[in-house]
């Protein structure tokens, strides 16, 4: 990968991290409502994955979607505005944290029912197959979603019909507070693809370049063969499941151990060691991101609330 692109990936990961840290503060101040699920710790997954897609490939994910939105090119301003429920958010303040989408950037949401977006992802691929194009739908979901019926119906039809879907399981070790081995019959999620005769792979989700390479290979396979592929990406969320998670289900030492594997720290080290970037360049990125986030907060706070008549807009298209 070119140096500029590597540096850009680093920038994206730092952007996600800082935006969410700021988001958490705003949440504590009561400026963000509802549920908010932070991606902190998992930034390398969507950053590497989405960097590997063609612009025509569609991305759909679950409710832990702020990072995915940023990686797809949605601005920090719009993400922050949506978090604050403002009219300038990409979903006009009607979706919130869990429902971020921008079809012009091929980011198709932000879906809050566990597993519910998987058959919809199959549907995108049904539509693309019908249209006769070779677009791929990249569908991201957590380990918890692989235990629900939707997952199995979606994978079955994808394989049976030869749909171009890259199924990406972000295995962050817990479905809410329940560890994978307490909820899933097999702990290697990729094994579940075997039951559908589906090609699959597994990669370390704390290393953005490894994720990128694995995603490239998987996307090539899907495009060339018109077959789905399941990629399991092992990762860890450093924060609770959502804001206000007491975290009784895991030990501080475990979290600490994973935090030593911070994907941003790992990448920072790689960039310096391989002389892709100097410390000065990486520091400048930090400064640039700080400024961008400050402006995003300013933009979001200054943005108007949705107008009262918005309550009744967009219920129907006709």
Partner 1 sequence: MAKITMREAISQALMEEMDRDPSVFIMGEEVGVWGGTYAVTKGFYDKYGAMRVKDTPIAENAIIGGAIGAAMVGQRPVAELMTINFGFSAMDYIVNQAPKLHYMFGGQFTLPLVIRAVGGGGRQLGATHSQTPDAIFAHFPGLKVVSPGTPEDAKGLLKSAIRSNDPILFIEHATMYQVRGEVPEGEYTIPIGKSKVQREGKDVTIVTYCKGLELSMKAAEELSKEGIEVEVVDLRTLRPLDMEPVIESFKKTNRAVVVEEGWKSYGVGSEIVSRIYEEAFDYVDAPIIRVAQKEVPLPYNRTLEQAALPQVHDITAAVKEVLK
Among positions 131-150, residues that touch partner 1 (CB under 8 A) are: 131, 149-150
Position among 37, 58, 199, 241 found at the interface with partner 1 (CB under 8 A): 58
Handedness of CA 99, 59, 70, 203 (dihedral sign): positive
CA distances (Å), 94 to each of 70, 86, 212, 314, 316, in order?
19, 8, 33, 10, 14
Check binding of 315 to partner 1 (CB under 8 A): yes
User: How many chain residues are in contact with partner 1, going by CB under 8 A?
Assistant: 43
Which window, 14-22, 110-118, 189-197, 252-260, contacts partner 1 (CB under 8 A)?
Answer: 110-118
316 binds partner 1 (CB under 8 A): yes
The nearer residue to partner 1, 94 or 250, going by C-beta atoms, is 94
CB of 102 to partner 1, least distance (A): 7
**Dihedral (Cα; 69, 74, 75, 79), 10-degree rounding:** -40
Residue 102 interacts with partner 1 (CB under 8 A): yes or no = yes
Nearer to partner 1, 150 or 236 (CB): 150
Q: Does 92 bind partner 1 (CB under 8 A)?
A: yes
Judge whether 234 and 203 are in contact, CB under 8 Å.
yes
Residue 74 near residue 102 (C-beta atoms within 8 A): yes
Locate 237 and state its tokens.
């969320």
Task: Please name the residue that has the structure tokens 């920072």.
Answer: 268
Site for partner 1 in 284-313 (CB under 8 A): 313
Task: Single out the residue of 23, 21, 110, 38 nearest to residue 297, CA to CA.
Answer: 23
Please give the Cα distance from 83 to 79 (Å, whole number).
6
Q: What angle do CA 84, 137, 191 make, to 5 degrees?
A: 105
Contacts (CB under 8 A) with partner 1, residues 70-89: 89
Residue 103 interacts with partner 1 (CB under 8 A): yes or no: yes
Q: Does 108 bind partner 1 (CB under 8 A)?
A: yes
Q: Rule CB under 8 A: which residues touch partner 1?
A: 58, 89-95, 99, 101-103, 108-110, 113, 116, 118-128, 130-131, 149-150, 153-154, 156-157, 160, 313-318
């Amino acid at each position: 990968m070119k140096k500029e692109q590597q540096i850009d990936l680093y920038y994206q990961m730092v952007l996600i991290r800082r935006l969410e840290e700021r988001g958490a503060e705003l949440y504590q101040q009561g400026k963000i409502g509802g549920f908010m699920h932070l991606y902190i710790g998992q930034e390398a997954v969507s950053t590497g994955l989405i960097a590997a897609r063609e612009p025509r490939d569609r991305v759909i994910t679950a409710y832990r979607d702020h990072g995915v939105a940023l990686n797809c090119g949605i601005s920090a301003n719009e993400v922050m505005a949506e978090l604050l429920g403002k009219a300038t958010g990409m979903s006009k303040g009607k979706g919130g944290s869990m429902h971020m989408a921008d079809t012009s950037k091929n980011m198709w949401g932000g879906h809050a029912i566990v597993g519910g977006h998987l058959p919809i992802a199959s549907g995108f691929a049904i539509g693309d197959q019908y249209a006769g194009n070779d677009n791929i739908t990249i569908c991201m979901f957590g380990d918890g979603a692989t235990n629900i019926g939707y997952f199995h119906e979606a994978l079955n039809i994808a394989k049976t019909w030869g749909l171009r879907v890259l199924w990406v399981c972000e295995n962050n070790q817990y479905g809410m507070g329940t560890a994978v081995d307490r909820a899933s019959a097999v702990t290697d999620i990729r094994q579940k693809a075997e039951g559908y005769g589906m090609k699959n792979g597994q990669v370390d989700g704390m290393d953005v370049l490894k994720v990128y390479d694995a995603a490239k290979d998987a996307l090539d396979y899907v495009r060339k063969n018109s077959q789905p592929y399941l990629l399991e990406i092992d990762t860890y969320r450093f924060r609770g499941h959502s804001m206000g998670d007491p975290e009784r289900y895991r030990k501080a030492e475990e979290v600490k151990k994973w935090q030593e594997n911070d994907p941003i720290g790992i990448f920072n080290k790689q960039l310096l060691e391989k002389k892709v970037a100097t410390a000065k360049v990486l520091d400048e990125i930090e400064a640039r991101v700080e400024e961008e986030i400050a402006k995003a907060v300013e933009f979001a706070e200054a943005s108007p609330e949705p107008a009262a008549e918005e309550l009744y807009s967009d219920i129907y298209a006709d």
